[in-house]
């Protein structure tokens, strides 16, 4: 597209509407427009097309109607494609592993559970952050093999500990894409039977934003998981804006307060109000409250006094490799 004022261009295309009437039924087609300009973004039609596509993909991922290309998008696109190839390789070469972060009863100081977290160390020794590689898996065809690896490794390890007498709750995260997978229920049923571990010792953490796209479908899946005996937790509670209206009907066991509120608990009055309200709301609904991101004794003491049930964070322990967590659990050492 020939060079013009980006703002005027965006205003012009923002008026595009894809709404129709078919047999008296209103139909609206959602669309995302990616824009690249000639000559500042590219010199050839092929390059313009590629960069407009990059802008479109960025807009779709961020729920924008219009996205205009910039050089940072190209760097992100190259990085994402590189990680995609590396992650696909990592899934077949055992570069991925699980670490477990202890969860502590805030009243007694006893270890009561742990959250399983995926970690990736490449063959060259480089650590890739989950904040970077998990979105790549979720936005590509790798989410299915990644989830199969995650659940298989999680059940294998927790079953070993259960059989060794470690009677703890172990948590694992499920994304919105996982909940929409029609094979999820059968996969979990198979893993339970194969490893002979009680479902009530497993906590499936579901992000709050999972309920924003297809709430009825997700509620049905949550109900099925409940009937299978799994405990369920709403992760990152307070960061979304749709699940509150469904909370009274959800068959879940706990709410997990997002660490963004916990981290600023001693410095921001609004965080104090949100955390206290969440604890009261959860307890009124008969739910356990877990706070993540505890990094100081002051925050741990505040949460305990406010009635929060369980905490995790660097104050107690960072996520630990399997052997290190086993040693931690065996000694059950807490601050």
Average pLDDT, integer, range 279-306: 94
Mean pLDDT over each residue of the chain, to the nearest integer:
85
Question: At CA 202, angle to CA 196 and CA 204, rounded to 5?
Answer: 135
CA 210 from chain centre, in angstroms, equals 9
Reported as a single tens digit per residue, the pLDDT across 212-266 is: 666 777 888 989 999 999 999 988 776 655 456 667 778 899 999 988 899 888 8
Q: Which of 129, 235, 229, 228 is nearest to 173 (CA)?
A: 235
Specify the pLDDT at position 7: 54
Binning pLDDT at 50, 70 and 90, where does residue 121 land? very high
CATH for 83-331? 3.20.20.450
Judged on CB neighbours under 10 Å (0-12, 13-18, 19+), 8 is: exposed
CA distance 213 to 207: 12
Counting Cα atoms < 13 Å in the Cβ hemisphere of 318 gives 2
**What mean pLDDT is predicted for residues 275-302?**
94
Choose the weakest-confidence range: 233-247, 275-289, 298-312, 321-335: 233-247
What is the mean predicted confidence (pLDDT) over 135-159? 91
Considering all CA atoms of the chain, what is the largest pairwise distance in Å, rounded to the nearest integer? Answer: 69
What percentage of the chain exceeds 70 in pLDDT? Answer: 85
- Is the pLDDT at 1 greater than 90? The verdict is no
Residue ranges with strand state E in the chain = 19-22, 25-28, 33-35, 66-68, 96-105, 111-121, 127-128, 169-174, 202-207, 231-237, 254-257, 288-291, 310-311, 320-321
* pLDDT at 334 (0 to 100): 45
Position 31 scores a pLDDT of 75
Confidence check: pLDDT of 333 > 60 = no
Tens-digit pLDDT profile for residues 46-70: 888 888 887 887 777 677 778 888 7
Domain residue limits, the chain? 6-69, 83-331
Task: Kindly report the pTM of this predicted structure.
Answer: 0.80
The predicted pLDDT at position 239 comes to 63
pLDDT of residue 250: 80
pLDDT in tens, 175-184: 888 888 889 9
């Amino acid at each position: 597209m020939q060079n013009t004022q980006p703002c005027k261009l965006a205003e012009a295309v923002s008026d595009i509407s894809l709404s129709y009437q078919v047999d008296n039924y209103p139909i609206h087609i959602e669309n995302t427009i990616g824009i690249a300009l000639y000559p500042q973004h590219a010199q050839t039609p092929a390059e313009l097309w590629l960069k407009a596509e990059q802008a479109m993909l960025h807009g779709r991922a961020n729920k924008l109607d219009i996205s205009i290309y910039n050089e940072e998008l190209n760097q992100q696109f190259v990085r994402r494609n590189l990680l995609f190839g590396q992650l696909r390789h990592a899934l077949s070469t055992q570069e991925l592993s699980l670490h477990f972060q202890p969860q502590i009863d805030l009243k007694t100081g006893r270890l009561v559970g742990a959250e399983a977290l995926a970690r990736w160390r490449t063959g060259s020794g480089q650590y890739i952050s989950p904040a970077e590689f998990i979105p790549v898996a979720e936005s590509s065809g790798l989410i299915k093999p990644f989830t199969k690896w995650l659940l298989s490794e999680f059940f294998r390890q927790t079953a070993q500990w259960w059989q060794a007498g470690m009677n703890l709750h172990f948590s694992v995260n499920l994304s919105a894409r996982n909940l929409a997978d029609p094979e999820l229920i059968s996969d979990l049923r198979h893993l339970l039977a194969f490893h002979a571990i009680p479902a009530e010792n497993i906590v499936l953490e579901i992000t709050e934003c999972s309920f924003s796209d297809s709430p009825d479908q997700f509620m049905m899946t949550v109900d099925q998981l409940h009937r299978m005996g799994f405990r369920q937790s709403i992760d990152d509670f307070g960061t979304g804006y749709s699940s509150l209206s469904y909370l009274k009907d959800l068959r879940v066991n706990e709410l997990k307060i997002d660490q963004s509120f916990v981290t600023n608990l001693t410095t921001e009055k609004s965080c104090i109000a949100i955390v206290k309200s969440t604890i009261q709301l959860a307890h009124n609904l008969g739910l356990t409250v877990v706070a993540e991101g505890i990094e100081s004794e002051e925050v741990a003491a505040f949460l305990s006094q406010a009635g929060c049930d369980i905490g995790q964070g660097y104050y107690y322990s960072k996520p630990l490799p399997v052997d290190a967590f086993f040693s931690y659990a065996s000694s059950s050492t807490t601050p």
